[in-house]
Structure 1
Amino acid sequence: MGALLTTASLFGTCMTALVAYIFFKNRKTPIKGDSVCRLQGFSQPPELFQDGHLLIGGIFSFRTGQDYVVNTFQTIPKVRKCKNFNFREFKFAQAMIFAINEINRNPEMLSNVKLGYKIYGNCGTMDILRAGLALMSGLKEEFSDENCTKSETVQAILGHSGSRPTIAFARVVGRFQIPVISHFATCACLSNRKEYPTFFRTIPSDYYQSRALAKLVRHFGWTWVGALAVDNEYGFNGIAAFIRTAQEYGVCVEYSEALSSSDPPETLQRITQIIKLSTSKVIVAFMSHREIKLLAAALYKQNVTGLQWIGSDAWITDPSLTDSEGHSILVGSLGFTITKAEIPRLGEYLRQLHPSQFPESQFVRDFWEDVFDCSLNQTANPQKQPCSGFESLQNVESKFTDVSELRFTNNVYKSVYAVAHALDNLIKCDGGKGAFPNRSCAGIRHIQPWQVLQYLHTVNFTTREGERVYFDENGDSPARYELVNLQIASRGTMEGKTLGIYDASLPDSHQFVPVSVCSEKCLPGTHKVLQKGKPVCCYDCIPCPAGEITNLTEFWSNKRRDACIPKAIEFLAYNEILGTLLVLFSLLGVFLTLITTLVFYCHRETPLVRANNSELSFLLLFSLTLCFMCSLTFIGRPSEWSCMLRHTAFGITFALCISCVLGKTIVVLMAFKATLPGSNMMKWFGPAQQRLSVLAFSLVQVLICILWLTITPPFPLMNMLLFKDRIILECDFGTAIGYCAVLGYIGLLAVLCFIIAFLARKLPDNFNEAKFITFSMLIFCAVWTAFIPAYVSSPGKFTVAVEIFAILASSYGLLFCIFLPKCFIILFRPEQNTKKHIMGKTSNSDIHY
């Protein structure tokens, strides 16, 4: 029994020693238990890979959309395959590689250290999470804390574009102190440092964008709006922040709806119907380009137009908007997006891409086959022609090679440089000045991701394009946006036109107005001296001589001569006595003209009206009405429009008026010449010729006015030279030639009319029309001849009064001389309103004019 116990004791001792030896020998091997997790399914190598001393990971979605798979959970779940190409995401990845190659060639940054990359091109939240775990654990299927210290793990992870997948893997990666830098995930929730302690981004948080959109709506006075969001964290957080801020500004939201591209058609139809029946005409859409294109197409089919769209940065400048059937209803949309950027030589790099550069990448092969419609594997695709291998992207125009819109691509570029600067600062750390305990530095040969994380917080550099890059305490970039307006470009695509800049770092009360001046305003104690050979806007500020002070141009001394007060601004106003009298005389002229028109219309069949060419008479009365009314444009405060209107309206209406009088004069002359035996002159100046002559004479004046307004139009001017104590607000002609041409042409017509009427003054009849026309033209010419010296010698507002008086006097002269005698006969001497009396000695009864 004792021997048996002794043997058992020796056996136990040997087994214990053996187990202890095994544990000591494999002390660094993780135990399959709680401290180790294994990725379910299969491990996937990176899509794009380059080895280096230090690695940077990247997660992008090279494809979009996944087949819908129903899992019964009786077998291993099937992998959901990605479908459509996403050239934008592939461009993001290539921009990352381009930046890494650029850094590796830069001897001043990370000298003797080569950066490598591991880039995954997964789609779908679960696959992206798997890629994140793979980047933390290398290419191993097992994952533990210790794997994160291996050389094959990455120092930082760039990506993803979407907020939802970024939220998923950033929360997991953050537990292992690996930095994550996103270029496009804007959800405000990612600023929560407790949930996402290692998250950074080179794009502003949606918190600032939401407030900017609310301020934009308030600026335009839109107090009744609709709100739409994409059905994920990006949309919910963004639109919620917008609604909160909008309500603070007094903006009401009629409806708030969410939509996802994976929703059933019924959801899209319901939202379309809500928009169609709503009374708000402004819609704030916090969506991605996929949802907005679906919605635009649905609204276009139902002919829902007239809406003002306010867009978020996820779609407002997306080039794929043109692909939507209803993209035309989005024209005119307003929205904020990050500032425009350029990346030198990136376009050339993208066009040099070839499958031979990434022989292990299936996506690059698929991309190549899609672009050139050929097959790199004839066995798999025998129906396509084989790729020659000599294809080139140099002459290919696609979304991948297009570098006209690099706003978000530049964020990837900046992310790489942010990591590189953090690594460079970490490597160049001087002993005793480090960021770690006891001011120590990191071991250069064993740099850990958590050490890179520490230096990312202090990154602060300026890109070659002059853009400053840094992160605040929440890992966010400074919020600076461009306000853009969607328009149709020359090639038919949608293009965002920049309207202004919004800087969220400024306080609410601090707003910038763009300044565009040749010379800054002179300070007190200096005066302006014009620069030789330059416009009046360019001047130098010269100190005032001793004993003198700066004079304020628009000011004048008070009665006590001890202070400056603003000069009085003088113009002919409606509410002063002179202006009121001129308005009354103008309206009286309109009233008398309308009464005359009514008398002529009621007696239009009588011989007197018919003998005076009723058509030209009514046109003359219409033009006289306009002449009286155009005088009203000269009264009131001059503006740009009133200055252009007053002189052109005067010129055209008087040209029409004199053209009618000239036509009537020619008719009178021709009519009586036609009474001579064998004369057929009236057929050469019948009704059609009369109309054409009036039109032709008037069109000449119209052309003169158009040339005047096109070359140097009249404009309002503050005349400070005429009086020292007041400012005369007047209309400058722009060029005196234009005004002289208008007056000269009217004078030419008047003189011509006077000559013809004078020649016809002794025609044999009892009611000589030519005599009255002669007298009216005599008054007209006398008034405007006297106008010139009176206009030149009249000071200030009386200049305008003289011009109005000339217009009214000449208009009254035409009205009274031509129409008053006829109205007197029609109303008070009807016995003279007969054909026999009008013809007098002329016996030809067939004359009609």
Structure 2
Amino acid sequence: MSLSPVHALAFFLGFEMLPGPIQSNDTLAYQIFHSSGDVMLGGLFPFHTGVSNASNLWRPEPLTCINLNYVGVVQALAMRFAVEEINNSSMILPGRRLGYEIYDTCLQARVLMHSAMLLVSEGLTRDIWAICNLTTYNPRVMAVIGPGSAGIATPMVKLLSTFLIPQISYAITAAKFSNKNTFPSFLRTVPSDQHQVQGMIELVAHFGWNWVASLASDDEYGRDALCQLANLALLRNICIAYEGLIPTYGATSKTPVVIRDIIQEVHRKNINVVILFAPASLSRILFQEVLQLNMTKVWIASSAWVLSEPVLSLPGIREIGTVIGFSHRGSSVPGFLEYLVSVNAELKHHKSTLSSVGFGTSTLMGYDEEGDGSSPNFAVEEMSFIRLGQYADAVYTAVYSVAHALHEVLNCSSGKCRDVDSKIYPWQLLEAVKRVNFTVLNTSFYFDEYGNPNSGYDVVTHSMDNMGYKKIGRYSGQLDINDSLVNWRTNDNQVPTSQCFSRCEPGQVKLFKGLQFCCFDCDDCSEGTFQASYGEYVNVIQS
């Protein structure tokens, strides 16, 4: 029997493999990691980033997941790390053991829904009860960690919300999931995009830019961001001079052509500052085109790509100009870096065997420069491990939020938990998760009424050192930034300009250029007239 790469990983790390009669070639709902426990958690992570021949599917057969994704692997390992840490602790859930079932989403909605239906099945069966009252329904898991992509999450989140199963995402930032009428059981350990967009507008205003472009992936995540940017920019007299949607149908021959047209239009309009909301894979494709066109701009980065390994490892990435972005404010998880090093050592030790089961044609811990998985790479530099660690804290915090809620529901405060046979239900756990307030990684953590965390953003910039980036400030409703830490790559390190106008002086009026409200010339008032409001309106009054 041959194993897929992720199942080979599970085998060599000593995880329990998938129980039950699911066959090894059933890649649609592969359970990657499994560990039994008194209370079971579900985990949904993108071990792969796509499926093959999805457009030709005409029967509901298993899909083959492709493009191994080391970030998803690291996130899943972070869940396992947190669960084992909790199980070995006498301070939280004493005498109780958490278990988990972790599935590959393949960044595909059909794959995700297949796993979601299994997670809501009754007990250890594969049956879903269609009953009127779900109060005493006992699903396979008590809570779900994930998923990590808004683009595929909506149907699954609604399904789990029907059963009021707590679902805590470690990466979804789309603002719509704050709507508790539609998504009552959804929470997250990363801030909403609504706060990120506000921070971006504050950053643009801080440097005096009023002539910017906004680019985004052509999906729900990107389109929502463009809409929020346009609304907030208008309030700050910032002109979105160009909006561009980047197609999300992958690295086809069409994608670079569309991207090239977008970039050239940005350059033609003399825009020096570009806001980019897109996933890491799409951002990498865009910057490959930027480098080919030898174009330099200031790039305002969303959290989805600013510190992503695919972008940071792109050859020549430092030549695109200055990158300033927003990253979920997190902390390194003690012991996790060492854990990743041990995993990598185990993989290198079994390199020949891994090649025979599939790892020889995929990259796990190193980024495949060709993008086709053809270059095996098992060695990871220390700095890459440190960057990978950034993906752990949001998952780690999500697991601990469930554990603290269970600690309350099981009445473990006396040092001993309620009898393991005592019935608890997901809806009871959900109410406790909403109330958690605990310290994790030396930081206080809780959810607000919309299921959003109390954390903010670090403001970071790409740098020339080994890490590839450095922190220059923070944003938590108010921007705090050290301008002197930014390398603008200009003469005397002067802040680049991106303006279509300068503020008109008293005695001048605005002469608008075309339809752009923030693009105009300033002209002196005619003899015998004056302006009443000092440059804000064209309001000429006869003396």
Range class of TM-score, shorter chain = 0.7 to 0.9
C-alpha displacement of 1:130: 1.3
Does 1:169 pair with 2:156? yes
The structure that is strand-richer by fraction is: 2
* 2:534 aligned partner: none
1:192 counterpart residue number = 179
Which residue is equivalent to 1:272?
A: 263
Distance 2:284 2:333 in 1: 29
Are residues 1:106 and 2:82 paired? no
Kept after mapping to 2: 8 A contact 1:339/1:407: no
Identity of aligned residues (%): 28
Q: Is the 2:113–2:156 contact (alpha carbons within 8 Å) kept by the matching residues of 1?
A: yes
Q: Deviations over 1:396-455 (max 9, x none)?
A: 426997134533310100000000000001111799xxxxxxxxx999621111110010
Cα distance in 2 between the residues matched to 1:254 and 1:85: 38
Q: Say whether the 8 Å CA contact 2:354–2:360 is kept in structure 1.
A: no
Aligned to 1:228: 215
1:71 is aligned to 2:56: yes
Alignment of 1:739-758 (within 5 A): none
CA distance in structure 2 between the aligned counterparts of 1:513 and 1:402, rounded to whole angstroms: 27
Query: Partners in 1 of 2:39 and 2:54 — Cα distance?
Result: 39
Deviation per CA, 1:494-545: give whole Å up to 9, x if none: 62211112112xxx6xx7699xxxxxxxxxxxxxxxxxxxxxxxxxxxxxxx
Partner of 1:350, secondary structure, is helix
* Residue of structure 2 in register with 1:467 after alignment: 443
SS of residue in 2 equivalent to 1:197: coil
Matched, 1:449 2:434: no
Residues 287 and 315, structure 1, Cα contact 8 Å, conserved in 2: yes
1:312-338 Cα offsets, whole Å, 9 max, x none, are: 111111122134355233442111112
2:37 and 2:380 mapped to 1: Cα distance?
A: 33
What's the offset of the Cα at 1:350?
A: 2.7
CA contact 1:289–1:320 (8 Å) conserved in 2: yes
Residue equivalent to 2:190:
203
2:33–2:101 CA contact under 8 A, matched in 1: yes
Change in CA separation of 1:249 and 1:87 when aligned onto 2, cut-off 3 Å: same
User: For the structure 1 residues 207 and 268, does the alpha-carbon distance in structure 2 shift closer, same or farther, using more than 3 Å as the test?
Assistant: same
How many correspondences in the alignment? 430
**Contact 2:473 / 2:481 at 8 angstroms: preserved in 1?**
no
Q: 1:64 to 1:149 in 2, by over 3 A?
A: farther
Q: Aligned residue for 2:497?
A: none
Distance 1:154 1:217 in 2: 45
2:43 to 58, 67, 72: 58
Indicate the residue corresponding to 2:461 in structure 1. Answer: 485
Q: 1:487, CA displacement in angstroms?
A: 1.3
Aligned partners of 2:474, 2:45: CA distance in 1, in Å? 30
Report the Cα distance in structure 2 between the residues aligned to 1:336 and 1:144, rounded to whole angstroms.
43
Residue matched to 1:315: 305
Give me the whole-angstrom Cα distance separating, in 2, the residues matched to 1:157 and 1:216: 35
Q: Which amino acid aligns with 2:300?
A: I
Structure whose alpha-carbon radius of gyration is higher: 1
Q: How big is the alpha-carbon RMSD for the aligned residues of Structure 1 and Structure 2?
A: 3.2
1:131 maps onto 2:109 in alignment = no
Aligned residue for 2:389? Answer: 406
SS at match of 1:117: strand
Whole-angstrom distance in 2 between the partners of 1:47 and 1:344: 25
What residue is the counterpart of 1:288 in the other structure?
A: 279
Q: What displacement does 1:276 show?
A: 3.1
Partner in structure 2 of residue 503 of structure 1: 476
Residue number among 476, 479, 482 corresponding to 2:452 in the alignment: 476
Mind listing any 5+ residue stretches in structure 1 that lack a counterpart? 1-40, 357-367, 385-394, 432-440, 515-849
Per-residue CA deviations over 1:610-651 (Å, capped at 9, x if unaligned) read xxxxxxxxxxxxxxxxxxxxxxxxxxxxxxxxxxxxxxxxxx
Write the deviation string for residues 74-127 of structure 1: whole angstroms up to 9, x where unpaired.
xx2454322211111111111111111111111121112111001001311110
One of 333, 346, 352 as aligned partner of 1:374: 352
- Which residue of the partner structure matches residue 496 of structure 2? none
Assess if the C-alpha contact under 8 Å between 2:78 and 2:336 holds in 1: yes
- What is the alpha-carbon distance in structure 1 between the residues aligned to residue 354 and residue 295 of structure 2? 47
How far 1:278 moved relative to its partner? 2.1
The answer (yes or no) to whether the contact 2:71–2:391 under 8 Å persists in 1 is: no
Structure 1 residues 285 and 42 mapped into 2: Cα distance closer, same or farther (>3 Å)? Answer: closer
Q: Which range moves more in the overlay, 113-122 or 137-146?
A: 137-146
Inter-CA distance 337–456: structure 2 relative to 1 (3 Å threshold): same
- Partner residue in 2 for 1:23: none
Alpha-carbon distance in structure 2 between the residues aligned to 1:451 and 1:259: 42
- Verify the 8 A CA contact 1:296 1:327 in the aligned structure 2: yes
Structure 2 residue aligned with 1:658: none
Q: For 2:385, what is the secondary structure of its paired residue?
A: coil
Report the secondary structure of 2:101's partner residue: strand
Q: CA deviation at 1:346?
A: 1.1
The 3-state SS of whatever aligns with 1:268 is helix
Q: What code does the residue aligned with 1:105 have?
A: N
Q: C-alpha distance in 2, partners of 1:383/1:204?
A: 38
Quote the Cα distance in structure 2 between the aligned partners of 1:277 and 1:377.
49
Aligned mates of 1:398, 1:452 — CA distance in 2: 41
Q: 1:280 is paired with a residue of what secondary structure?
A: coil
* Shift in alpha-carbon separation, 1:326–1:148, aligned structure 2, 3 A: farther
Tell me the distance in 1 between the aligned counterparts of 2:258 and 2:271.
20
- Contact 1:58–1:93 (8 Å) recurs in 2: yes
C-alpha displacement of 1:218: 0.5
Alignment of 1:46 with 2:65, yes or no, is no
SS state at 1:332 partner: strand
Residue 237 of structure 1 deviates from its aligned partner by 1.6
DSSP-derived class of the 1:66 partner: strand
- Label 1:303 to 1:134 Cα distance change in 2 as closer, same or farther (>3 A): same
Alignment of 1:666-681 (within 5 A): none
What is the match of residue 166 of structure 2?
179
Code of the aligned partner of 2:393:
N
- In 2, Cα distance between the equivalents of 1:512 and 1:310? 16
* Distance in 2 separating the partners of 1:59 and 1:345: 23
In the other structure, the counterpart of 1:793 is none
